């Protein structure tokens, strides 16, 4: 029972990281209708910037994370402007390949700058470990901060997209780009804003991910990126609550599957569940059903 609870806590912690990454995927997909494969690598850049800020420049953790968010925001917007914006009228496959090229670029640039060897990422979270049930169930500071960050981000984003003018503009663009433009919404600025928010979240996710799993390499972001993308589809791509549900479920399934079924088959188990969900609900758990017009 206790071991189950502790696996569950680990799963929720990992799932929260997936949820934050999945948000970036989901928002960008909702607005630009593209799979931004470079998103996973923005996570890695965020983690490296935090690593440099704390280790080499001696900045305090909070400032380092803010610096990472700033760098990633700029990076996300620049990537969008240089690589994706010229392709807005192109086929989705062309954009996909460009995003993959961007992903290669970021990984190899990181390898040139920071080297291919894994760096040991020092946890930026100094909260003490919480001990429950007479010391049987331990919840680390990283877990608490991750879950808390996830909850705050979800609440803020939900309020942002439903109450503010910019958030409403984002939803309008994701529903109908042409009509939004006619209503006087600056579509380009809105898309840039989406990339900015998604990339800033990626930086946060990178720091949280590396605090829990401290090996930092140029390819650190790719596998969590793919899983978070899976989580976004799982929950229903384009939906904020969907990213939350998908991410959490995916994290819990992965950890429980690894603990109780097979260590090697943990990932296979995650993807198998995804396939089953998509077969039953083809647009994800919380996705809207799109009717086909003839």
Interface with another protein (CB under 8 A): 35, 83, 86-87, 89-91, 93-94, 96-98, 100-102, 104-105, 108-109, 111-112, 226, 229-230, 233, 237, 262, 264-265, 267-268, 271-272, 274-275, 278-279, 282-283, 292, 294
Cβ nearer to another protein, comparing 111 with 186: 111
Minimal distance in Å, beta carbon 175 to another protein? 17
The C-alpha angle 38, 65, 73, rounded to 5 degrees, equals: 40
Q: How far is CA 79 from the centre of its chain?
A: 17
Q: How far is the CB of 124 from another protein (least distance, A)?
A: 29
Closest distance to another protein from the beta carbon of 274 (Å): 5
**Which single residue is written with the structure tokens 């939900």?**
158
| Least distance (Å) between residue 239 CB and another protein | 14
Based on CB atoms, which residue is closest to another protein, 54 or 98?
Answer: 98
**Three-state secondary-structure class, residue 92:** helix
Q: Tell me whether residue 62 or residue 290 sits nearer to another protein (CB atom).
A: 290
CB of 202 to another protein, least distance (A): 19
> Which residue number, 154 or 233, has a Cβ lying nearer to another protein?
233
Size of the chain in residues = 294
- Which tokens belong to 17? 């990281």
Please, what's the b/e burial string for 224-248 (b: 16 or more CB within 10 A of its CB; e: otherwise)?
Answer: bbebbbbbbbbbbbbbbebbbbbbb
* List of residues 6+ apart from 24 with CB closer than 8 A: 36, 39, 42, 197, 198, 199, 201, 202, 205, 228
Q: What CA–CA distances, in Å, run from 205 to 30, 185, 211?
A: 20, 30, 10
- CB nearer another protein, residue 50 or residue 230: 230
Indicate the residue among 182 and 294 with the shorter CB distance to another protein.
294
User: Smallest gap, in angstroms, from Cβ of residue 125 to another protein?
Assistant: 30
Q: Quick check: 18 and 253 in contact, CB under 8 A?
A: no
């Amino acid at each position: 029972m206790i071991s189950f609870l502790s696996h569950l806590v680990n799963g929720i912690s990992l799932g929260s990281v997936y949820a934050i990454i999945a948000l970036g995927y989901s928002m960008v997909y909702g607005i630009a209708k593209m799979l931004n494969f470079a998103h996973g690598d923005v996570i890695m850049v965020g983690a490296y910037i935090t690593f440099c800020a704390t280790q080499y420049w001696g900045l305090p953790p909070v400032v380092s994370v803010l610096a990472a968010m700033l760098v990633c925001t700029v990076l996300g917007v620049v990537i969008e402007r240089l690589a994706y914006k010229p392709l807005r009228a192109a086929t989705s496959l062309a954009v996909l390949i460009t995003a993959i090229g961007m992903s290669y670029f970021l990984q190899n640039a990181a390898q040139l700058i920071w080297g291919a060897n894994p760096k040991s990422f020092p946890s930026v979270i100094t909260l003490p470990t919480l001990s429950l049930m007479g010391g049987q169930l331990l919840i680390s500071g990283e877990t608490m901060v991750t879950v808390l960050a996830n909850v705050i981000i979800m609440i803020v984003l939900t309020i942002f997209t439903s109450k503010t003018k910019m958030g409403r503009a984002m939803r309008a663009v994701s529903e109908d780009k042409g009509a939004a433009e006619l209503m006087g919404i600056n579509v380009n600025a809105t898309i840039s804003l989406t990339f900015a928010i998604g990339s800033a979240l990626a930086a946060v996710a990178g720091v949280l991910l590396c605090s829990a799993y401290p090996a930092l390499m140029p390819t650190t972001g790719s596998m969590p990126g793919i899983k978070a993308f899976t989580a976004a589809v799982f929950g229903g791509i384009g939906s904020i609550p969907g990213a939350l549900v998908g991410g959490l479920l995916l994290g819990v399934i992965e950890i429980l599957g690894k603990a109780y079924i097979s260590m090697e088959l943990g990932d296979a188990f995650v993807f198998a569940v995804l396939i089953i969900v998509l077969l039953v609900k083809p647009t994800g758990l919380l996705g809207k059903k799109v009717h086909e017009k003839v």
